[in-house]
Amino acid sequence: MAVESINIHPLDKHLRVDRIPTLYCPGCGIGITLGAMLRALDKRINEGLIDPNKIVWVGGIGCSARTVFYVRYDAAHVLHGRAIAFATGVVLANPELLVIVVGGDGDIAGIGGNHFIHAARRNIDIIVVMITNFVYAMTGGQVAPTTPRGVKTTTTPMGNPEPPLNAIKLVLALNANYAARASVTTPHYIENFFYKALGIKGFRFIEVISTCPEIYGRHIGLRDPVEMYNELKKRVKYKPKPSIEDADIDWEKGIIIGEFLERNNPSYLELLRGVYGK
Ligand SMILES: Cc1ncc(C[n+]2csc(CCOP(=O)(O)OP(=O)(O)O)c2C)c(N)n1
């Protein structure tokens, strides 16, 4: 085998390999997430369902959002919290594009929360993958809207007094077409759900529960990458048809993953065409 072929990974064609190694910490789950997403995308491209020249990735600011920096596609690295707003503009300007947003729980559900709500309400034709690590990782571990109660972070040194926001429950209350949750300990579900989302119109949301030993793990006493991965793995349970109550995230009781919502409401582009008649 020629030396060059040994160094070619099957996903290299989707990646800006010149930008690798990434900035991610050892044990971070973001690479697992991106790998699973790219495997699903690869399948859809090979099936002829998606034109690789018509894909746009959009990320705000944060470790998770930075994935868009590594993909060999048109990509926009925009203001913190504004990825969904930017993605909405992209798809309205050119409805032929497949627009994928990747971001952290702070980016999507915190500072970008209003865009998130209204994109789901309007059923905007984008896919949003939110990587939940329960903290603002890139800036050093401040409390996020998803941080569980009681957890000590750099900005809640006495323990977080606030109840967390549940992004799946929020999406279920709105007009989106798809909502699923996976975990970096179950990459095949990330791949399956993203593959499914790639074949649906309207607003599609996937939450990926991630390990973050360097920042979140430090706060909860799981600083070791293997230990944090194994502790998360123990708690994650797949359920075929999870209910809205199953969406609760409780580290002690376990975290249910699965497809919480799948429907075929008219997407925003379809609603617009209905009004403009084209
Ligand atoms: C308008 C604005 N406010 C704050 C920041 C600082 N900032 C950068 S990333 C970030 C949070 C990152 O957390 P999250 O979105 O959850 O992503 P993660 O790094 O955890 O993947 C913050 C507050 C910024 N860049 N811009």
CATH of the domain at 156: 3.40.50.970
Any domain includes 213: yes
- Using a 6 Å cutoff on CB, does residue 63 contact ligand 1? yes
Q: What is the pLDDT of residues 116-174, one digit of tens each?
A: 999 999 999 999 999 999 999 999 999 999 999 999 999 999 999 999 999 999 999 99
Q: 3-class SS at 278? A: coil
Peptide bond just before 21 cis, omega within 30 deg: yes
- Using a 6 Å cutoff on CB, does residue 130 contact ligand 1? no
Q: Give the Cα separation of 17 and 28 in Å (integer).
A: 19
Any domain includes 246: yes
pLDDT at 108: 98
**Closest Cα to residue 74, out of 53, 48, 104?**
53
Q: In the chain, how many domains are there?
A: 1
Q: Is this model's pTM higher than 0.75 or not?
A: yes
Output the CA 106–ligand 1 centroid distance in Å: 6
Cβ neighbour number for residue 117 with a 10 Å cutoff: 16
Any domain includes 12: no
Any domain includes 45: yes
Decide if pLDDT at 72 tops 70: yes
Alpha-helix residue ranges (DSSP H) falling in the chain: 3-6, 30-46, 83-93, 105, 113-122, 167-172, 187-198, 218-220, 225-235, 268-276
What is the average per-residue pLDDT within 170-193? 98
At 6, is the pLDDT very low, low, confident or very high (cuts 50, 70, 90)? low
Quick one: which atom of ligand 1 is closest to the CA of 138? 19
Ligand 1, atom 13, residue with closest C-alpha: 136
Q: What share of the chain is helix, strand, coil (3-state, %, to 5)?
A: 40, 20, 40
In terms of residue numbers, what domain contains 52? 26-276
Q: 3-class SS at 17? A: helix
What is the average per-residue pLDDT within 59-75? 98
